[in-house]
Amino acid sequence: MLLVGVLLLLFFNLHLPTAAIDTLTLGQSLLWNQTLVSNGGNFELGLFSPGKSNKHYLGIWYKKISKKTVVWVANRERPILEPSSCHLELSVHGDLRLFSTAPSNTLLWSSNASASSSPSPPRTTVATLQDDGNLVVKSNATRSRSRSPSSTTTTHVAWQSFDHPTDTWLPGARLGYDRGRGVHSFLTSWTDFENPAPGAFSMVIDARGLAKFDLLAGGEHRYWTTGLWDGEIFANVPEMRSGYFTGVPYAPNASVNFFSYSDRLPGAVGNFMLDVNGQMRRRQWSETAGKWILFCSLPHDACDVYGSCGPFGVCSNATNPECRCPAGFEPRSSEEWRLENAAGGCVRRHPLECHGDGFLALPYTVRLPNGSVEAPAGAGNDKACAHTCLVDCSCTAYVHDGAKCLVWNGELVNMKAYAANENGQGDPGLAGAVLHLRVAHSEVPASSTEHSWKKSMVILGSVVAAVVLLLASLVTVVAVAAVLRMRRRRGKVTAVQGSLLLLDYRAVKTATRDFSEKLGSGSFGTVFKGALPDGTPVAVKKLDGLRQGEKQFRTEVVTLGMIQHVNLVRLRGFCCEGNKRALVSDYMANGSLDSHLFVMSGSSSGPDSKQVTLTWSQRYNVAVGVARGLAYLHEKCRECIIHCDVKPENILLDQEMAARLADFGMAKLVGRDFSSVLTTMRGTVGYLAPEWLAGTPVTAKADVYSFGLLLFELVSGRRNSTAPSSSSEGGPGIYFPVHAVVKLNEGDVAGLVDERVAKDADPKEVERLCKVAGWCIQDEEGDRPTMGLVVQQLEGIADVMLPPIPSRLHILAIENEWVRGVPEDERCSKSGSKPETEAIEEM
């Protein structure tokens, strides 16, 4: 009986009780079906199996959220096949050790804490899962002070999981290096969603001591950097100004270089995670939505991740998933691609034979991979370039761009397919370049030389056809002469580049029937309805008073003609004859946004009224469409194009009521006149950013400001400075953005919506639109988001915090006593303040 008692006592000392605890003591074990739970219940440690995998791992995950999300993994490279045979123990040496007893006693993972501690750790050594998600091996030591009865207790940390993160950076954890402690903490992606083994991508701090992080592929190819820390944000992460986290201490010196952060909202659940595709994601858990809300992904474009699609893989933003294999190739591992791990890339369906191989031209423009070599000068055309590659059995691809021949040897990595409206802008030497991949002879379409009898028949047919054509030409000459005479009367239309047309002034007059049908007039001229010679309806803007040189005007127009986007009005052609200038664009059947958004005087009377009130859904889609168009102009074009005149009159609606931004690039066309043109509009338009009026240099953030004011008008259905139909709120002359930002901060946006669509408006979309608008109209450019971030916020991909009230609007709000709870003696003296209309005009 005594022996049984001793064994039972030993059992209870070595194994955990059934109640949840957060700590292991020396010699204690955690069985496979037991877990540690942090004291506050935020995190849990135990065995888990990712996805549909039958392999198990020791990890830490969030305890209180409904979706199991793992933030740390111990045995990343040594999975557990028989979970019932495993246990975790805090050994008598002070190490955390994960053992598997089947088929033999195998050590799967160890913290190796004993390497940095004494051979005999203190009896007070414990392993505790803390409420911040940190698993810590620590011990307490008590020291008596000399000549004093009191004593002090110090804690020695032998090891902690925060020093060894996997793919997730938790608040409070340090990321970087501390050479004094021998710690280098960096993130490494999972291999795929079912395999937490270290993947191809990592996030590391700059090894030279610079205050920045780099994203690396394969540990060596840097494909993105945060930019330098300026004490508030990283240079390439302007989204940090949105306030999604605070307190990022930076501690640089000769041996220490690290960052940590904390969430802005107490009790919030959020983190940074390096995704399997190589993007760094900032996310926050929403209990209401029951999912993770993405704030931003860096880099924004998944195709900017180096080698994300592997060798011979092609990345494209227009496909889902982004990676695909070109013709003649297939995924190296279909199972890995299913798990969204395309790093293995593509392989040829049939092996190369060297002699007899051929080429397949990619039917889309691609970003050319690294590692090309320029062929000898003799390869002066495409055929010679192909021959140069073909005779070299190690050559895998070639490009001839019209001036030089480039060849590649070995695997091609980092190819990106551009959409038709991008044309590889930003990549030098891409214009007109076609990449030819080497493939086996069986993959090349049959050539005509293999069918010589068909060639003979073609020659015979050609002779017969020539005789027929000779007879027909006599009749054709007369018809052509007649057509030429008619064309002289109608004007001349010629192709300049691609589909862009050059029209002489006579052709413009013919297209518009001598400017007979006026569609409207704007800051830069008058718009008329017209038609191209093939019957395509167009809108012709006759530009007034431009003094720009003809050569410069033509150059800028050709550049704009190459820009194509679903949310931009396409430029079809132009006229540049002496001082006569005109732009020919697609005709939008539903006119401009202002004609459908604002109630025009007398617009509702009469059966011929064409005004259609936009539904809330249509308005929200307009907001998203305009944001996408501006983001394209700001971030995707070779040179950033600032619209400078974002307003409802310059937003056109197509047949499906989709938004198309017009008049983009006018600043490039009118040159010096542009500033004075906009300045004259300040009393009537009211969409100008403060920097316009201050005379400071204007950036793309001026468009962001104007877009924010446009969003408020989409919500209210009226001009921002127009008095509402009912003066119950704010009284006559109310400036709507003032009213809106105050209501937004009070949590009451329902009353802001246009009464014509209020019943159908989604309250969450209204709130989101107002929040985005509030950030867009911040006084300082640096506080406004980029249009790329705005698109993500409107699409619900990135969350948006409550914006502060801009100081200019705050002053107006106080002057009109719209800020509730402000003591009278703290409000500005109205006797010395400017009239509201003047203050609005200055904004």
Domains of the chain (ranges; CATH) run: 1-161 (2.90.10.10), 165-300 (2.90.10), 307-447 (no CATH), 481-587 (3.30.200.20), 592-599+611-842 (1.10.510.10)
The token duo for 800 is 């948006």
Token pair 């699609």: residue: 309
Pick out the residues of the known binding site for ATP: 542
Report yes or no on whether pTM surpasses 0.85: no
Biggest CA–CA distance in the chain, Å, is 125
Say which DSSP state 49 is in.
Answer: -
* pLDDT for residue 819: 41
Rounded distance, CA 259 to CA 174, Å?
A: 5
What are the angstrom distances between the C-alpha of 359 and each of 434, 442, 482? 11, 11, 47
Set 167, 645, 663, 703: catalytic member: 645
pLDDT at 202: 96
DSSP string, 389-442: HHTSTTEEEEEE-SS-EEEEES----EEEPPTTTTTTTSTT-TT--EEEEE-GG
* Pairwise CA distance, residues 804 & 151, whole Å: 50
Q: What is the pLDDT, as a whole number, of residue 10?
A: 42
- Based on the number of CB atoms within 10 Å of its own CB, is 554 exposed (0-12), middle (13-18) or buried (19 or more)? middle
Amino acid at 751: G
Binding region: 542
Question: Can you read off the two tokens belonging to residue 298?
Answer: 């860096």
Distance in angstroms (rounded) separating the CA atoms of residues 298 and 291: 20
Rounded average pLDDT per 10-residue block, the chain, 843 residues: 43 51 91 93 96 93 94 95 91 90 84 62 89 93 60 81 96 89 92 92 90 91 89 78 59 78 80 93 83 82 88 84 90 88 90 88 84 78 89 90 85 81 45 80 66 45 61 55 51 73 90 89 83 88 73 80 85 87 90 85 43 89 94 82 89 91 77 49 60 76 93 92 49 71 86 92 93 92 90 87 80 50 36 36 40
Alpha-carbon radius of gyration of the chain: 34
* Ramachandran category for residue 242: left, alpha or beta (phi over 0 → left; psi -120 to 50 → alpha): alpha
- Whether residue 397 contacts residue 410, with contact meaning beta carbons closer than 8 Å, is answered with no
Extract the tokens encoding 713: 């008008």
Is 163 an active-site residue?
Answer: no
- Classify strands 537-543 and 525-531 as parallel, antiparallel or unpaired: antiparallel
Give the whole-angstrom CA distance, residue 92 versus residue 120.
Answer: 8
The angle subtended at Cα 240 by Cα 752 and Cα 422, nearest 5°, is 85
Residues 6+ apart with CB under 8 A from 712: 720, 736, 737, 740, 770, 773
Cα torsion for 745, 751, 755, 759, to the nearest 10°? 100
